[in-house]
Structure 1
């Protein structure tokens, strides 16, 4: 099993970095895609972060594994491979690697995940990291103290997410986006899960968006439907979360 450093060495060549053109230590947001892989909407969030003075790191979890989109749709989206607890290894490894960069303020980090990516973040926040697991060796070696916020976009909290009601051990400010017409969960289930997160002491804001799962991803795959107006609002709320948890240096 990879150490966090070894996993980051595999992920880093497939991570896109966007931010102000300087070498100043800046807050960082780490973006983790859904089970369908990198799609056109994540660069819009990365650009919103750059405009706010942050550095954004968009991680491709599939390229290092040699997986393409059809393979991921058939295996990850169906729960056969890379469940949330294993995906958490990518999240911890990326946090570990990015925190070593001189152009990043490691005390000011936000984790952002869409669907499967949000599942992985929730596993990373709730797991006992003193025990082996989470897809990497020695997950406890990764310091979570600098994680000030999480952005959970319609995270997967269905039947395969066995730990969805497990209390978080690290409790940053959280914006949880719930899709009212999500075919993978009910609003009631999502609100119950996010209320559990709130019970650990985290400040949790929930937004019930009147759209489908992946409403911000340009797609024509029913029952998912792209909604530009909701996407604009999601981008606004995402940027507001960044501004709430940390003030970036002026460009």
Structure 2
């Protein structure tokens, strides 16, 4: 079983960083992919965060485990491996690791998850985080107070998400994206789950996008279909959420943005 630091040591080399090319402590958003792994749409969200003066960290949960996309599709997407409570360990470890960086303001953090990634975030927010839970020795050692927002893009809230109605223990402002034609859940079920989050005291905005699951991912794998206009609107709403919860420092004149592995300042 990992500690937070050991889990982050595994995730860190497979995390991609976007942000202004400076060392100022900035708000940061952590992005967690769906069960299909890293896809082309996540850098678009990271670039939007970067444009707003935030740092963005795209966390790959599969490369540290030696899993290919094909393997993940056959195991994670079918619920055989890495269910939401286990993925929550990655969320907490990444939150702990990123919050310790000198170029990140630990009081201004957002978490963003797509499908399976959203499931992991919801488990991280609702778990008791006792020693040994979520695959971690010390899950309770990372504070959640700095998490100001969560972006949940068609999070998995189907039958395998046994804890989907468990109240959150930390309640940041949340934008919940529901796909009207999501084959993994009904709109009614998703709204019920998000209403539970609202009841814990969080400000929750729900957007019912008139598309399928993964509508913002440039691919077609029926019943999922890419919808470019909705994808553009999703990125806009994501960026607006970040700007609503924290104002980032302006980039220095003449500075350039970065898109690099996490080998930057740690």
Instruction: Please state which band the TM-score falls in when normalised by the shorter chain.
Output: over 0.9
CA distance in 2, matches of 1:129, 1:119: 16
SS of the aligned residue for 2:224 comes to coil
Structure 1 residue 135: Cα displacement:
2.0
Structure 1 residue 130: Cα displacement:
2.9
CA distance in 2, matches of 1:202, 1:97: 25
- Say if 2:4 and 2:96, in contact at 8 Å, map to a contact too: yes
- Say if 1:130 and 1:140, in contact at 8 Å, map to a contact too: yes
Q: What is the aligned length?
A: 251
Which residue in 2 is equivalent to 1:53? 53
Which residue in 2 is equivalent to 1:182? 182
Structure with the bigger percentage of strand: 2
CA distance in 1, matches of 2:64, 2:250: 35
Which residue in 1 is equivalent to 2:138? 138
- Say if 2:131 and 2:137, in contact at 8 Å, map to a contact too: no
- State how 1:157-172 maps to structure 2 within 5 Å: 157-172=157-172
Give the alignment's Cα RMSD to 1 decimal: 0.5
User: Gaps spanning 5+ residues in structure 1: where?
Assistant: none
SS of the aligned residue for 1:119 comes to helix
- Say if 1:41 and 1:216, in contact at 8 Å, map to a contact too: yes
User: Gaps spanning 5+ residues in structure 2: where?
Assistant: 252-266
TM-score, structure 2 normalization? 0.94
TM-score, structure 1 normalization? 0.99
CA distance in 1, matches of 2:130, 2:7: 18
Structure 1 residue 131: Cα displacement:
4.3
Post-superposition CA distance 1:138-160 (Å, at most 9, x none): 10001111000000000000000
- Say if 1:90 and 1:135, in contact at 8 Å, map to a contact too: no
- State how 1:102-117 maps to structure 2 within 5 Å: 102-117=102-117
Post-superposition CA distance 1:66-120 (Å, at most 9, x none): 0000000000000000000000000000000001100000000000000000000
CA distance in 2, matches of 1:109, 1:217: 24
Which residue in 1 is equivalent to 2:262? none
Identify the structure with bigger relative contact order (alpha carbons < 8 Å, sequence gap 6+): 2
Structure 1 residue 219: Cα displacement:
1.1
- Say if 2:26 and 2:248, in contact at 8 Å, map to a contact too: yes
Structure 1 residue 136: Cα displacement:
1.5
Which residue in 1 is equivalent to 2:258? none
CA distance in 2, matches of 1:50, 1:34: 21
Which residue in 1 is equivalent to 2:147? 147
